Structure 1
């Protein structure tokens, strides 16, 4: 049996990543302190699989674990991805705990949209600082783009492996070659988002009108305000405050 991918956090991103990483036969361990959220995540993954019923691949086994079973959940994992809320102290504590519970060959990644892996690990006493990366996804499976960014200490071979593995699991990987808060896309999106908010705040146009003209000109399915609603206004606020 192949080594599992372990995902900490069964929220919106965690459950979508659980689907993607299990969609090519790889086992996935999904971990959360909220048992109700774990149940909802399992149902969401099952629904994704029904939607993708014509896939030529067999789905991997999805196992769920409560947070108190973290050591067992991380055992044998080749990749661990944290998807906890966008709070830097929380992410630092989670990353430090994963480092203590996993062997030196396990790759440890953060899915954070607002903190780089360099920021998260800064000052931490890590056992194996050369295995940490940012692995930021957007809205899989509908939007399969995923950005991979190293810290100054990350082994280059880890980046190469992740690019290959992401391609094999239906993602479209992009290597962020320098440390960049906001990665690639979010730096571009931030400018669009802030101008959309300014146009609405100044009374130039309503959010509905801004979304409508944006979609009309660029032929995209969602406008800026619709995209913010999908991401969650609480997440948008966290990112803006950072």
Structure 2
């Protein structure tokens, strides 16, 4: 999406194979996109992590997209702040940690240039237009207005979060669905298959909540749920207890071969 106007975009990662897979995925999204580029797509420049200073110096916007680990996000954000020109906007793609939480206690040069910018993805894995924009109490108003304009120009549909909110807008609603799903499972009310089947039948979505959590990774879901419990009162314990049990058993979802469902080779139908 950021390359839609023909401008180059740097993609930086320390794993060369991950960069290759990411670039292939971007090409797939471009081919499927219903948001055409204006003239031609911009170049995607894949760079190893040692090339980060070059990518930072050439960019007006830096977006951190590492996994939902607060310590890891803080490490990357601090690195970006150390390298970036004072006028460069630094954003986090986190959907569960606010930008205020991430930069708290960091030695940042320009605390008024940070922003939260999570991109939403559909249940079928396809690109969505929706993107959320949330500043901290220190973010310059002109940065918020600029990103609303820039995201819209690039084909996004921006939603500005007007007050600091853990989970932003969409993920607060999704968190409630996840939590109630986990509570339903913990109480033995229904199986993952039954929950997903009725969810898809009623809402006409390609995946149910258990299938979606398996894709995200149950260890990641547990980290996010624990964070909600840390910052909010009244979050039930049973969903986290169920997740801890499954994670302890190595059931992390698709990436480990099993979660709410079995993804191992032996579970696949034979010809």
Quickly name the TM-score band, shorter chain normalised: 0.7 to 0.9
CA shift for structure 1 position 54: 8.6
| Match 1:164 to one of 149, 157, 180 | 149
TM-score normalized with structure 1 length: 0.86
Question: Are 1:190 and 2:201 matched, yes or no?
Answer: no
Q: SS where residue 174 of structure 1 aligns?
A: strand
Q: Which has the larger radius of gyration?
A: 2
Structure 1 runs of 4+ aligned residues shifted over 4 Å read none
Moved more, 218-227 or 110-119: 218-227
Q: Which residue of 1 aligns with 2:88?
A: 106
Gaps of 5+ in 1: 1-19
Q: Which has the higher strand share?
A: 1
Deviation digits for residues 102-123 of structure 1 (CA, Å, limit 9, x no counterpart): 1111110000122110001112
Q: Which residue of 2 aligns with 1:134?
A: 116
CA shift for structure 1 position 241: 2.2
Q: Which residue of 2 aligns with 1:6?
A: none
Q: Which residue of 1 aligns with 2:210?
A: 225
Indicate the structure whose relative CO is greater, using CA pairs within 8 Å and at least 6 residues apart: 1
Query: What is the aligned length?
Result: 223
Q: Which residue of 2 aligns with 1:35?
A: 16
TM-score normalized with structure 2 length: 0.77
| Match 1:212 to one of 197, 209, 214 | 197
CA shift for structure 1 position 50: 2.5
Q: SS where residue 103 of structure 1 aligns?
A: coil
CA shift for structure 1 position 55: 2.6
Q: Give the distance between the partners of 1:114 and 1:127, measured in 2 at CA.
A: 24
Gaps of 5+ in 2: 228-271
Q: RMSD in angstroms over aligned alpha carbons?
A: 1.7
Q: Give the distance between the partners of 1:97 and 1:65, measured in 2 at CA.
A: 16
Q: Give the distance between the partners of 1:121 and 1:52, measured in 2 at CA.
A: 34
Pair 1:142–1:69, CA change in 2 (3 A): closer
Q: Give the distance between the partners of 1:53 and 1:208, measured in 2 at CA.
A: 32
Q: SS where residue 118 of structure 2 aligns?
A: strand
